[in-house]
Amino acid sequence: MSLRINDIAPDFEADTTEGRIRFHEWIGEGYAVLFSHPKDFTPVCTTELGLMAGLAPEFAKRDARIIGISIDPVESHCRWKADIEAATGHRVRYPMIGDPDLQIAKLYDMLPAATEGTSEGRTAAANATVRTVFLIGPDKRVKLALTYPMTTGRNFDEILRAVDSVQLTARHQVATPANWKQGEDVIITPAVSDDEARVRFGGFEQVLPYLRRTRQPV
């Protein structure tokens, strides 16, 4: 069964480009973004991992660690780093997990349907991880899960936006509306009474009986 929101993210040990890790220990007390790509030395993946390298300081500001994974071996990841930097101008300094035995890919349901075997002789269309993203919280529970087809590069600005939303709603009893961005108005959850909302948020706009909008709390 696929991992669902609020499931405990499975723990594992793995070799990475930054050494061997135990995942939950590596996450520590902050957030983590685990994202898979189909195959090293391929065009879309090169752009994605370079973009993530460029965004690494933004994730760090949010106390969110980033880690990549594919079922290529660590040695392949290390060789690929030079191409990523040449193509995008960003040096990959975050760890990349090598998963040639598919253990973690299967644990996190990152493989396309009808995939069997090991990584030997695989093609991007058969035995490779699709573009999956998991946001995992300090409680080691899944906060966000997204899956993209192999041919569609991800918008990692959206992942940052989702981190902002998840962290904001963890601190305050608010939700974020469609297309919300940092600093914009938020929605007060039904768990907060009108009287409590006036105290906590300094007032609100009653758009509908069940929709109350207020300024983003700080």
Do 12 and 103 meet the contact criterion of CB atoms below 8 Å apart?
yes
The single-letter code of the amino acid at 49 is: L
Please state, in angstroms and rounded to a whole number, the distance separating the CA atoms of residues 44 and 55.
Answer: 17
Query: Phi then psi for 205, rounded to 5 degrees?
Result: -100, 125
Residues of the chain with CATH 3.30.1020.10: 172-214
163-206: pLDDT as tens digits:
999 999 999 999 999 999 999 999 999 999 999 999 999 999 99
Q: Under CATH, to which class is 13-154 assigned? A: alpha beta
Q: What is the pLDDT of residue 128?
A: 77
Sign (positive or negative) of CA dihedral 194, 195, 200, 203? positive
The matching CATH number, chosen from 3.40.640.10, 3.30.530.20, 3.30.1020.10, 3.10.530.10, for 172-214 is 3.30.1020.10
The pLDDT of residue 129 is: 84
The answer to whether residue 45 is catalytic is yes
For residue 122, the model assigns a pLDDT of 47
Each residue's pLDDT tens digit, 34-50: 999 999 999 999 999 99
Give residue 123's pLDDT.
53
CA angle, 107 as apex, 124 and 165 as ends, to 5°?
90
Is pLDDT of 53 > 90? yes
Q: How confident is the model at residue 104 (pLDDT cuts 50, 70, 90)?
A: very high
Active-site position among 3, 27, 34, 45? 45
Tokens 């590069």 belong to: 153
What residue spans in the chain does CATH classification 3.40.30.10 cover? 13-154
pLDDT beyond 70 at 120:
no
- For the stretch 74-87, pLDDT in tens is 999 999 999 999 99
To the question of pTM greater than 0.75 for the whole model, the response is: yes
